[in-house]
A and B are shown apart, each in its own frame.
Chain A
């Protein structure tokens, strides 16, 4: 079935970087985009950006410009989100999700908890 499986819990120190992976299966990876969304503890959903799995084009939220890089590997149907210069307020669950062109996000990964603590 169609699914996105994310990498496991990460614990990082302030100033470090984290790279979260998202492995797709059950569909043609290059026919969809991938978005990344994060959710701080007890808070709402925050859109971080989008990447086309077809050609690698990206669109990042202004808030994360310069600190985030989204990539894909079409040979393994995987997407990656790297966030640098981590701060304590980056502690959150990070989700990847499938984004059809011109339509709403329809499939979500299970989420990856990233904890930033000294």
Chain B
């Protein structure tokens, strides 16, 4: 089973700042089958990034993903008020298709 470890657990920033979230895998994720999701309270997750670096439909370009192998990063270039939420990475390379424990982005 691939274990995903996200850091930091909580990130405190202000609107307009840059956010960098990390996701580290216990073994290599083939084909860069790594996704990022955003979840707000009381809502289902929303796909942001797939294939480690491709933005999903309708996702603003301030969101970007990078990385390969075991180290992946989600960057939000200039935080908007609506970006404060919990972010999860997920690998869909091998079963079980595990999630990281999440990073809470707070003001």
Asked whether, in the complex, the Cβ of B96 is within 8 Å of the Cβ of A35, the reply is: no
Asked whether, in the complex, the Cβ of B50 is within 8 Å of the Cβ of A103, the reply is: yes
Cα A105 to Cα B56 with chains together (Å): 11
Asked whether, in the complex, the Cβ of B47 is within 8 Å of the Cβ of A104, the reply is: yes
Instruction: Mark the stretch among B18-26, B73-81, B97-105 that contacts chain A.
Output: B97-105
Contact digits for B65-101, partner A, Cβ 8 Å, 1 yes 0 no: 0000000000000000000000010101001111111
Asked whether, in the complex, the Cβ of B47 is within 8 Å of the Cβ of A106, the reply is: yes
**What is the distance, in angstroms, from B66's C-beta to the closest C-beta of chain A?**
16
Given A103-B50, A104-B50, A105-B35, also A44-B102 (CB < 8 A): yes
Q: How many residues on B have C-beta within 8 angstroms of the other chain's C-beta atoms?
A: 23
Q: Scan residues 99-118 of chain A and give those whose CB is less than 8 A from a CB of chain B.
A: 99, 102-106, 108-111
Asked whether, in the complex, the Cβ of B99 is within 8 Å of the Cβ of A50, the reply is: no
Give chain B's interface secondary structure class: loop
Q: Which residues of B contact A35 (CB under 8 A)?
A: 97
Cα A17 to Cα B90 with chains together (Å): 28
Q: Which residues of B contact A105 (CB under 8 A)?
A: 35, 47, 90, 92
**What is the distance, in angstroms, from B86's C-beta to the closest C-beta of chain A?**
8
A residues whose Cβ falls under 8 Å from a Cβ of B: 35, 37, 44-47, 49-50, 59, 61-62, 95, 97, 99, 102-106, 108-111
Knowing that A45-B39, A103-B51, A105-B90 touch, tell me 15 more A-B residue pairs with CB under 8 angstroms: A44-B99, A45-B90, A46-B99, A47-B98, A50-B97, A59-B95, A61-B96, A95-B44, A99-B92, A103-B50, A104-B56, A105-B92, A108-B45, A110-B44, A111-B44
B residues whose Cβ falls under 8 Å from a Cβ of A: 31, 33, 35, 37, 39, 44-47, 50-51, 56, 88, 90, 92, 95-102
15 cross-chain CB contacts under 8 A: A37-B99, A44-B100, A45-B37, A50-B97, A95-B45, A99-B92, A102-B31, A104-B47, A104-B90, A105-B35, A105-B90, A106-B47, A106-B50, A106-B56, A110-B44
